[in-house]
A and B are shown apart, each in its own frame.
Chain A
Amino acid sequence: MFLEIKDLSVKIENKNILNGLNLNINKGEVHAIMGPNGCGKSTLANVLAGKEDYEILNGKINFKDNDLFDLNIEERAQEGMFLAFQYPVEIPGVNITPFLHSAINSKRKRMNEEEIDNLSFAKLLKSKASDLGINIDMLKRSVNTGFSGGEKKRYEILQMSILNPDLAILDETDSGLDIDALKIVTEGVNRLKTKNNAFLIITHYQKLLDYIKPDHVHVMVNGSIVKSGGPEIAAEIEKDGFQKFQ
């Protein structure tokens, strides 16, 4: 199994957020998690990425034969986990090029691969940026600084395509995107998809799933998955809302 979440319960500040959640993802699969606001979707994404604000009450997570709780945030990232943030944070003064260059090399180091040099990296970055319709001038700016919501999301997908993760988690990447941006972003995701990686897409609306075809759709309510199935579930939610799952 590629990613296996077993009976996961998590709390933050005395409030239980995840309650005995189970989820299995295989290589080559696209999973979508849908749920109402406050159901714990983003918590799940952050717990997977290793954010430290949460208390793990119970459960196990296995990722690529590692006990995920043995790895810290950067080790998980280096092992190939990528989280596209819902609200990417601004880092003034830090240029995207050296930032991503260090990121890719820290991953290569862990994988015992040769580091990529400045020139080859600049080339790679340029070509990926142009695939996503990102202007070269945007590469000269500081990470996320002064970007619009849509620009930030595009930047997340650019970083994802550079780091080429094994498991990509997209946390409400569709929020704040207009239809054109949504198309570009989802095309970026579809280009990256292979039979060796997997995607976990967290979303509130069905719209995103018109562009990225999920193999499995899960409905999350009150911190656990209450229903799983195929794309037809998304259509059901679009029609009737989350009410009937609660």
Chain B
Amino acid sequence: MNSETLNTLDTYSKNKYKYGFVTDIDNEKPKKGLNEDTIKFISLKKNEPDWMLEWRLKAFSKWKRMKEPKWANLNFPEIDYQDIYYYSAPKGFEKKPKDLSEVDPKLIETYNKLGIPLEEQKVLAGVAVDVVFDSVSVATTYKGELEKLGIIFCSIGEAIQKHPDLIKKYLGSVIPAGDHSFSALNSAVFTDGSFVYIPEGVKCPMELSTYFRINAENTGQFERTLIIADKGSYVSYLEGCTAPKRDDNQLHAANVELIALEDAEIKYSTVQNWYPGDEDGKGGIYNFVTKRGLCAGKNSKISWTQVETGSAITWKYPSCILKGDNSIGEFYSVAITNNFQQADTGTKMTHIGKNTKSKIISKGISLGKSQNTYRGEVSFLRKADKARNYTQCDSLLVGNKCGAHTVPYIDSKNNTAVIEHEASTSKINEDQLYYCRQRGLSHEEAVSLIVNGFCKQVLQELPMEFAVEAQKLVSISLEGSVG
């Protein structure tokens, strides 16, 4: 590595985080710490029915008996669950505001600063947005238009009130509360998140999107998202996330459940840009997320696309359970780690039905002193005749103090299964940089171009509106400057 490259890497690692501001707004919080009273407080604040509170308390009692999963290649101090606020809402959110005129202008300004205007007319053309600020949902746009098609798109809190049958049937059906300690924790204290139901035969005409923001200090965010695509329906959903710069680590433990019935398709895209901590590794979000999709019906399809650039720690394995015959699961991932970030991410594809197919494309990019691990499990159960998996894991190292790791597990109980696995690890190539620069591109432009090229296979899976944003985000994660 020559001196010029090292210089550029140095500027990269002085990464600026442009969403690091704090909104000064009064918050309503319970006491710090986790106990039954905290859960009762949350349930009461959300005006939940008794069955929901019971559900939470049951999850809590499971959590108390569980230990954090330890398989990941991550290194962090023990989380003190009694030193966290489990609920934070801007004052005046006892009842969800009916329209934007009831929302504190400071909140609207926050989202404008983040580039997410809430006024419907300005919302990205054709994208309906649900916005979650700390623990509550602030606004859902385009609601009326979606209702005409029978599509339900609202906060999970609202769904518990208005659609208890769907919630009772599906909540926790893909990720049981007792799956592991983070799912139990989320089930006990989840505060808000989005709920989507697409009725039979309906193709959702616009991208649905949720934007998560952690604002309050020492607050955990535990959102819960549930998406159900009924027979023959289609939906594309995108989530984005940011948080202010803080010196302390903050915990984010979300659960996302997807259910695709016969012939239905769900496309779920994430652009995760939580605050990653500073260049010395101080602060940043601990992102422990459980995402799982169930291809319940025949010919159903679930596809996860993720661009992970933020968080001090990312622990995340969006998975597919391929139960229906001929169902398809896909996982496309770009994970970029810089400075002292750690990511342990990948997927789990469980083939149960006949002729089920899965595809995994993972691109890990490590810079600075970061550690980036792909961890994936592909399993074929006894009845999964003629099931297929294709896995491709590529790692790119920039500099010589970072690490890339690939941990694939394969488990097949059916000998008709076909498995293909490809993996590569490469260093950013000095000859490529030299070539680009000889054509007049700056060193930074060249790195950005090469990394974007490396990720292209994944980025092109994102919805058009966000592909450009994601590309910019990739460049920003590499550069010191903000475009």
Instruction: Establish whether residues A51 and B434, one from each chain, have CB atoms under 8 Å apart when the complex forms.
Output: yes
Chain A, interface residues (CB within 8 Å), range: 20 to 34
Specify which of B2, B436, B453 is in contact with A52 (CB 8 Å cutoff): B2
Q: Which residue from chain A places its CB closest to the CB of B394 in the assembled complex?
A: A92
User: Is B35 part of the contact surface with A, judged by Cβ < 8 Å?
Assistant: no
Residues A83 and B438 in contact in the complex (CB < 8 Å), given A89-B429, A93-B452, A142-B453: yes
* Cα-based distance from A63 to B452 in the complex (angstroms): 34
User: Is A66 part of the contact surface with B, judged by Cβ < 8 Å?
Assistant: no
Within 8 A of B (CB), among A19-55: 49-53
Which of B157-165, B192-200, B344-352, B440-448 sits within the interface? B440-448
Within 8 A of A (CB), among B419-439: 429, 431-432, 434-439
Instruction: Establish whether residues B434 and A73, one from each chain, have CB atoms under 8 Å apart when the complex forms.
Output: yes
Chain A 125-145, CB-CB to B under 8 Å as 1, else 0, gives 000000000000000001100
Residues A103 and B441 in contact in the complex (CB < 8 Å), given A52-B4, A91-B432, A91-B436: yes
Instruction: Establish whether residues B4 and A77, one from each chain, have CB atoms under 8 Å apart when the complex forms.
Output: no
* Cα-based distance from A103 to B441 in the complex (angstroms): 6
* Cα-based distance from A83 to B453 in the complex (angstroms): 23
Which of B236-244, B259-267, B454-462 sits within the interface? B454-462
Q: Which residue from chain B places its CB closest to the CB of A79 in the assembled complex?
A: B440
Q: Which residues of A contact B455 (CB under 8 A)?
A: 93
Instruction: Establish whether residues A74 and B442, one from each chain, have CB atoms under 8 Å apart when the complex forms.
Output: yes
Q: Which residues of A contact B453 (CB under 8 A)?
A: 91-94, 142
Q: Which residues of B contact A103 (CB under 8 A)?
A: 439-441
Residues A88 and B443 in contact in the complex (CB < 8 Å), given A93-B454, A93-B457, A94-B453: no
Q: Which residues of A contact B434 (CB under 8 A)?
A: 51, 73, 89
Instruction: Establish whether residues A73 and B450, one from each chain, have CB atoms under 8 Å apart when the complex forms.
Output: no
Q: Which residue from chain B places its CB closest to the CB of A95 in the assembled complex?
A: B453
Specify which of A49, A91, A94, A143 is in contact with B438 (CB 8 Å cutoff): A49
* Cα-based distance from A104 to B445 in the complex (angstroms): 13
* Cα-based distance from A110 to B3 in the complex (angstroms): 24
Residues of A within 8 A of B (CB): 49-53, 72-74, 77-78, 82-83, 85, 88-89, 91-94, 99-100, 102-104, 106-107, 110, 142-143, 159, 163
Task: Other than A91-B432, A94-B450, A110-B440, give 19 A-B pairs with Cβ distance below 8 A.
Answer: A52-B4, A53-B2, A73-B438, A74-B437, A74-B438, A74-B442, A78-B440, A83-B438, A88-B435, A91-B449, A91-B450, A93-B456, A99-B449, A102-B445, A103-B441, A104-B440, A106-B440, A107-B440, A163-B439
